[in-house]
Homo-oligomer: A and B are copies of this chain.
Amino acid sequence: MHQFKGKQYPCCTSLTMGVIGGKWKTVILFYLIGGKLRYNELRKKMGTVTERTLSLQLQQLQEDGVIQREVFYSKPPLKVEYSLTEFGKTLIPILEAIAQWGDYALENHSAEENTQ
C-alpha cells in the first residue's frame, strides 16, 4: 500500500492512474504538452467538457503537482494560464504512449466485433 498526496494506492500503477485517471485528465495534460493554455482555450479544444468538470480536474492536477496555474491581473479581462510543471513534464512519455496506443487501437482493432 502506497501513499501519495494524502491518498492511498494499492499498487504503483494505481498511483499513476490516480493522477492521470478520470475522463478528462489525460486530455488536458496532452494539450498542455504543447505549452501554456488559458482556461477557455482548453475548454474549446475539449469540446464536450463542462465548465465545472474542467475546473475540478484542473484543481486536482494542481493538487498533485503536475500542472501550475498563473494568474495575470493586468486588466479586467482576467487571464489565467495553465501549464505543466517540471514534475508534470515527466509524464509526457506516458501521455504520448497513451495517445499513440489509442490511435493504434483505432486503426487496427476498431472494426472487430467481440467474437472471440
Contact = CB atoms under 8 A, between A and B. Distances in A.
Interface in A2-35: 2-5, 9-17, 19-24, 26-27, 30
Given A90-B104, A109-B87, A46 B13 contact: no
A88 B5 CA distance: 31
Given A94-B98, A114-B65, A105 B14 contact: no
Which among A3, A14, A85 has the greatest number of chain B C-beta atoms within 10 A? Answer: A14
Interface residues of A, number: 52
Interface of A: 1-5, 9-17, 19-24, 26-27, 30, 46-48, 63, 65, 68, 85, 87, 90-91, 93-95, 97-106, 108-110, 112, 114, 116
Please provide the 9 A-B residue pairs with the shortest distance between their CB atoms, ordered closest to farther: A12-B102, A15-B102, A13-B26, A16-B102, A16-B98, A11-B27, A94-B97, A13-B99, A16-B101
